Structures are given as structure tokens and as C-alpha cells.
């Protein structure tokens, strides 16, 4: 059975790249009728955040990426939180030491950092020189008895090469001399991310390991661990990077696109999922819009790209606009109302007026919080015209007469209904003998303060007779 895992670190928010990793792992498993596992990699205890852990559970639920096993959904391969598995890592690290595939390293961390920085300044790649590989067993025991601080390092063979087949990037071969003796167990007794991953993936019977393509060249280190521990090798699927517009990789440390911020700004989960699926993957047919179930059905690992994908919020807005329009009116109103209510005082507004306002913008919005940006004209008592509006009002001598006639037509309206507003506009067209842009644009500018917007009749209706007449009278 295909088993994949999403193994986030609860050290902060979840960004777009993290969520895409979860989505791809989910799709790979579910397409094959397999299982999707959640594991929390909390070995970085200095940065652990319990709120971040809670958010992981919440977001996977919001995006319908339900897992078959995890910290709060027990299975037979738990525990699913790495800090609860320390004795397991210690056991396997000591086994590697006993078999000569790992060794105790007593090198001073400060000295190593200095050497690493020096190599960086010289433009060289730093590899730990293997100083402690040469220690005799007697020297090691003496240092251990003296309680000297140590880490456990993997002993990488310095001859030959290690090869594997990646399901996305194909056959990969790395020379062993280019691999560093990586740390497996840190001086605080916690495993490194790299070592814990191998042990956990093997013991949890993960068949397909999904990870970022930046790990393509270091994967042989993990494969040597699998071999040394006599674990079966899994399949590897290295995912293309998600880059920002400036070409740099997305990162929590750089405060890049926060998934929760997107939700809070009114991006729908189904739109985000649909967009992310197409960041680094192409469907067989020329199709852009997918439900999660359709993605599960059509997802094919062979269609994952090798080149990086660029995260473009404008493209995401385009997807989100599509999904907002697809909402039925009641779901749309329930979704959009909180954004308007947060931005403006609605106590004086009737339910009918609010409903009319929100529905008028349903086919115009790209994200929920945009409603506050585009409806400001209905909550301002006075308008300040931009230069382009002022210039247009001066562009034709007929405009002043048109506005005067329209003002008189508005004054005649007794029953403030859309059909009567539309009739006032038609009467103005006939009396002023203007049409098109010279009819509609001046009326829109003076009544709303902007050159473009929703249907003019809807705009005037929502502004109300008193406000519209006052603005026309002020010309």
C-alpha cells in the first residue's frame, strides 16, 4: 500500500510551499488508494510553538486534507511526534556506532563554526574533515567517561558513489566524497531532522517520500542510512521549488505568504488548493478548475515538473474570483458579510440594503476583504475627486447640462426604486441628447466619486436619494 507523510515543524505559521507539500503527499497516497500520515517534527525545541502545532491540525481540516494516522489520530506506528520518540532514535544511532557506520564526535562546535565561516568567505564548500573518525575506541571511552560533550555523526564511505532513481528527476548519482559526515544525534540528545526522518519513515512504513528538490543531492546520505540500518529504501519524489517573483525560495523565516493570512483575507480553501495543485504539476487534459476529488482521481506523479514554479498572488486571485462566483447567494453572503462588518459600522443599514450591496459585488471580487476596498463610496459622506475625474468633467461642454437635467430627474422620484432611477437616466439621455460615455460617466463620477464600478443604477440606488441629490446639487 502506498503510504506518504506530511511532516511539518511546529515552529511558526504555514506558508504556501508547506501547504503544497502536504497537498502533493495527500494526492499521491489517495490516487493509489493509500494512506496519508501526519507526523510532527519538533526536534527544534528552541523554536517549538504549541500554537503552531494547533494551527497545523486546524489548517489540514480546513483544506480537507484528512490524514489516516497522526498525533491525534492514533495508528499502529506511533507516537507521531518526534519528541516522544527520542529513545527510538538513540537506539538506532547506537546501533550504527556499534556497526561502524557512525561515530562519536567531540569536536568543539565553536571551532567548527569558525572553520565553516572561513570556508564560506573563501567561496569553498565546507565539509566536516572527519577528525573524530580517527579516534580509537579507548580514546572514545575515555572522553565519554570524562563526560565530554559529543554528537553522533554518520560515517560516510569516502570511496565510490551512491545512486537512486527519483520519480520526478530520474536517475541520480552522487560521489560519496562529496557527502559530509552529517550529525545524527545532537549534543542535547535530540536527533537531527535528517536522521529522525529516515528512522521515522522506515518504521512508519512510508513508501513514497516527498520532499523539496533542494534535497536531491543529499538524498544519498539518507539512503546510506537506510542501507546501514537494513531498512528498505522508499521511493523518492522531489518536488519543484515554489519561488517568489524575485526568484527566491519561499520561507517562514522570511515571512513569506502565510496560508492563514490568505484565509483571513478571504481566499477560499478550494481556490487555494486548486491553484497550488497546478504549481509544479500539469493535468493530462487542458483543464484548470478541479475539486479535491478530481485532483485525487487525475493526479499523476509523472506529470510533476522538474523546473521551479512561481507563486503569483494575482493568479491565485483569478482562481479565487472563479470560486466566489460559484458560491450560491446564501453561502456567498455568509462568507462576505464578516469582511464588510469588520470594516464599517452597519448598525444604521437595513438587512435588505446590506444584502443588495453585497450581491451587487459578487461577480467583481477577487478575495473577501476586497469588499471593504470597493464599497467605501457607500460609507463616505463626501467625495474627493481624483484628477482624472476632474479632467473628464471638464472635457465636454455638454456635461454640466447633463448633470443639471439628471439632478432634476432625481428630485422628481417619489419612490426610490431601481426602475425609477433607470427611467431618470433615460429621461436625461433624451433631454440632454447625449448617450454612452458622455451620459453615464459624468453621473457616476459626481454621484460616487469614481470613474468605474458596479452597474450605475445599482450604485445610485445603494447611495440613496438624499446623498445622490446633495452631490449633484453641489456641482
Q: Could you state, in order of their start, the residue ranges of all structural domains in the chain?
A: 1-69+240-326, 85-239, 387-473
pLDDT 10s digits, 168-180: 999 999 999 999 9
Mean pLDDT within 60-64: 98
- In CATH terms, are 1-69+240-326 and 387-473 the same topology? no
| Active-site annotation holds for 465 | no
Task: Quickly name the fold that domain 387-473 has.
Answer: Arc Repressor Mutant, subunit A (1.10.10)
Task: Quickly name the fold that domain 85-239 has.
Answer: Rossmann fold (3.40.50)
Q: Which CATH architecture has domain 1-69+240-326?
A: 3-Layer(aba) Sandwich (3.40)
State yes or no: pLDDT of 253 exceeds 80: no
How far apart CA 63 and CA 39 sit, in angstroms, is 17
Angle (CA) 265-270-275 rounded to 5° is 85
**Cβ–Cβ under 8 Å, residues 344 and 244:** no
* Confidence band of 390 (pLDDT split at 50, 70, 90): very high
Provide DSSP, 262-321.
HHHTT--HHHHHHHHHTSSB--SSS-----HHHHHHH--GGGB-SS-EE--HHHHHHHHH
CB-based burial, 100-131: b 16+ in 10 Å, e otherwise:
ebbbbbbbeeeeeeeeeeeeeeeeeeeebebe
Q: Which of 40-49, 355-364, 381-390 has the lowest mean pLDDT?
A: 40-49
Q: Which of 73, 143, 249, 252 is catalytic?
A: 252
Mean pLDDT within 455-465: 97
**Cβ–Cβ under 8 Å, residues 89 and 185:** yes
**Cβ–Cβ under 8 Å, residues 48 and 10:** yes
pLDDT 10s digits, 321-331: 999 999 999 99
Residue 357 pLDDT: 98
State yes or no: pLDDT of 256 exceeds 70: no
* Confidence band of 254 (pLDDT split at 50, 70, 90): low
State yes or no: pLDDT of 45 exceeds 80: no
Residue 250 pLDDT: 74
Average pLDDT for the chain: 94
* Confidence band of 211 (pLDDT split at 50, 70, 90): very high
Eight-class DSSP state of 395: S
In the chain, what percentage of residues exceed pLDDT 90? Answer: 90
State yes or no: pLDDT of 49 exceeds 80: yes
Say which residues have a Cβ less than 8 Å from residue 38's Cβ, sequence separation at least 6.
5, 6, 7, 56, 60, 67, 69, 70, 71, 73, 80
pLDDT 10s digits, 426-435: 999 999 999 9
pTM (global) more than 0.85? yes
* Confidence band of 247 (pLDDT split at 50, 70, 90): confident
Mean pLDDT within 395-402: 95
In the chain, what percentage of residues exceed pLDDT 70? Answer: 99
Amino acid at each position: 500500500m502506498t503510504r506518504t507523510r506530511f511532516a511539518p515543524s511546529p515552529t511558526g505559521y504555514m506558508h504556501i510551499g508547506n501547504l503544497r507539500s502536504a497537498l502533493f503527499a495527500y494526492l499521491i497516497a489517495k490516487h493509489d488508494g493509500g494512506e496519508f500520515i501526519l507526523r510532527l517534527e519538533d526536534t527544534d525545541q528552541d523554536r517549538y510553538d504549541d500554537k503552531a502545532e494547533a494551527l497545523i491540525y486546524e489548517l489540514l481540516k480546513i483544506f480537507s486534507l484528512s490524514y489516516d494516522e497522526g498525533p491525534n489520530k492514533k495508528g499502529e506506528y506511533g507516537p507521531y511526534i518526534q519528541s516522544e520518540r527520542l529513545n527510538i532514535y538513540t537506539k538506532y544511532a547506537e546501533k550504527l556506532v556499534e556497526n561502524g557506520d557512525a561515530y562519536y564526535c567531540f569536536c568543539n562546535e565553536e571551532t567548527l563554526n569558525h572553520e565553516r565561516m572561513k570556508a564560506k568567505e573563501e567561496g569553498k564548500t565546507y565539509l566536516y574533515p572527519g577528525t573524530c573518525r580517527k579516534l580509537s575506541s579507548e580514546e572514545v571511552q575515555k572522553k565519554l567517561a570524562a563526560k565530554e560533550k559529543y554528537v553522533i555523526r554518520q560515517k560516510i564511505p569516502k570511496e565510490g558513489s551512491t545512486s537512486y532513481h527519483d520519480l520526478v528527476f530520474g536517475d541520480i548519482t552522487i560521489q560519496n566524497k562529496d557527502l559530509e559526515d552529517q550529525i545524527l544525534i545532537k549534543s542535547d540528545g535530540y536527533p537531527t531532522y535528517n536522521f529522525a526522518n529516515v528512522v521515522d519513515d522506515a518504521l512508519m512504513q512510508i513508501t513514497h517520500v516527498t520532499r523539496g528538490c533542494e534535497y536531491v543531492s543529499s538524498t544519498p546520505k539518507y539512503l546510506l542510512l537506510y542501507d546501514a540500518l537494513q531498512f528498505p529504501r522508499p521511493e523518492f519524489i522531489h518536488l519543484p521549488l515554489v519561488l517568489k517573483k524575485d526568484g527566491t525560495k519561499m520561507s517562514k523565516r522570511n515571512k513569506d505568504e502565510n496560508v492563514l493570512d490568505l484565509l483571513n483575507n478571504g481566499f477560499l480553501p478550494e481556490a487555494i488548493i486548486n491553484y497550488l495543485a497546478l504549481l509544479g504539476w500539469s493535468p493530462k487534459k487542458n483543464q484548470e478548475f478541479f475539486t479535491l476529488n478530481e485532483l485525487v482521481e487525475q493526479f499523476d506523479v509523472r506529470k510533476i515538473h522538474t523546473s521551479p514554479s512561481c507563486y503569483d498572488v494575482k493568479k491565485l486571485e483569478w482562481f479565487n474570483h472563479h470560486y466566489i462566483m460559484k458560491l450560491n447567494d446564501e453561502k456567498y453572503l455568509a462568507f462576505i458579510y464578516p469582511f464588510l462588518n469588520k470594516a464599517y459600522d452597519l448598525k444604521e443599514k437595513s438587512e435588505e440594503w446590506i444584502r443588495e450591496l453585497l450581491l451587487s459585488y459578487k461577480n467583481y471580487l477577487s478575495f473577501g476583504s476586497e469588499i471593504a476596498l470597493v464599497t467605501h463610496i457607500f460609507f463616505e459622506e463626501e467625495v474627493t475627486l481624483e484628477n482624472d475625474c476632474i479632467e473628464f468633467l471638464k472635457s465636454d461642454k455638454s456635461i454640466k447640462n447633463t448633470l443639471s437635467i439628471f439632478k432634476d430627474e432625481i428630485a422628481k422620484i417619489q419612490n426610490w426604486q431601481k426602475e425609477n432611477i433607470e427611467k431618470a437616466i433615460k429621461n436625461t439621455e433624451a433631454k440632454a441628447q447625449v448617450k454612452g460615455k458622455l451620459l453615464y460617466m459624468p453621473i457616476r463620477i459626481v454621484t460616487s466619486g469614481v470613474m468605474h464600478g458596479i452597474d450605475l443604477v445599482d450604485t445610485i440606488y445603494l447611495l440613496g436619494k438624499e446623498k445622490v441629490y446633495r452631490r449633484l446639487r453641489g456641482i
